[in-house]
Amino acid sequence: MNQMTNDITSNSTPTPTSPVEPRRFTKPHRVAFIQSSWHREIVEACRLAFLKEAAAQGIPESQVGLFEVPGAYEIPLHAQLLAKTGRYTAIVAAALVVDGGIYRHEFVASTVINALMQVQLQTEIPIFSAVLTPQQFHEHAAHVDFFRQHFATKGVEVAQACVNTLLSLDHLGSQVVAGLD
């Protein structure tokens, strides 16, 4: 779960920390990006930042499949089915889980994260989560703006984690093929 600070007045815009030249992969990668449609105007900031940073890091937008599901709870099944297709070398999930009281949304977020970990381990496809659960969220402009910016930052971070993991797995795969430890 992600706990937010009470400071909702920050107007900082995330800046990618991309290298000058895109990363070199040993094979082409295709990434699935699954996002919840609840609070779409906030969650899409994650997707847009992810696409921009991933492209800067060597995964062009044309190699990212975009999928939308009704809510966070539907993400794990979608991720599992996408992983089983063999078309994707990584999957990213993004959602903002709010409403229903503190215990309900924390339960939903925890359930989603645990299910995504299960899918990742069963399919051996890395899954990255930008499924966030703020302690406090209210549908007013200050919160919406704050969380939109926060999701943009998370989009950059999840793109970097995805690229670094895929590079690491490429390297690990090369070692396994070569019979190295």
Q: Give per-residue pLDDT as tens, 79-100.
A: 999 999 999 999 999 998 876 5
For residue 32, pLDDT over 60 is answered with yes
Give residue 121's Cα distance to chain centre: 17
- Between residues 113 and 143, the one the model is more confident about: 113
- Between residues 139 and 172, the one the model is more confident about: 172
**141: exposed, middle or buried (Cβ count in 10 Å: 0-12, 13-18, 19+):** exposed
For residue 118, pLDDT over 80 is answered with yes
The amino acid at residue 9 is T
Instruction: Select 31-178's CATH number: 3.40.50.960, 1.10.1040.10, 3.30.70.100, 3.30.70.890.
Output: 3.40.50.960
For residue 4, pLDDT over 50 is answered with no
**Residue 50 · residue 153 · CB < 8 Å:** no
Q: Where are the chain's structural domains?
A: 31-178
Separation of alpha carbons 66 and 91, rounded Å? 10
Residue 178: band (very low, low, confident or very high) from pLDDT cuts 50, 70, 90: very low
Residue 145: band (very low, low, confident or very high) from pLDDT cuts 50, 70, 90: confident
- Residues with catalytic function: 104
Alpha helices in the chain (DSSP H): 40-56, 75-85, 101-123, 141-178
- Across all residues in the chain, what is the average pLDDT? 81
Q: What's this model's pTM, rounded to 2 decimal places?
A: 0.80
Separation of alpha carbons 125 and 123, rounded Å? 5
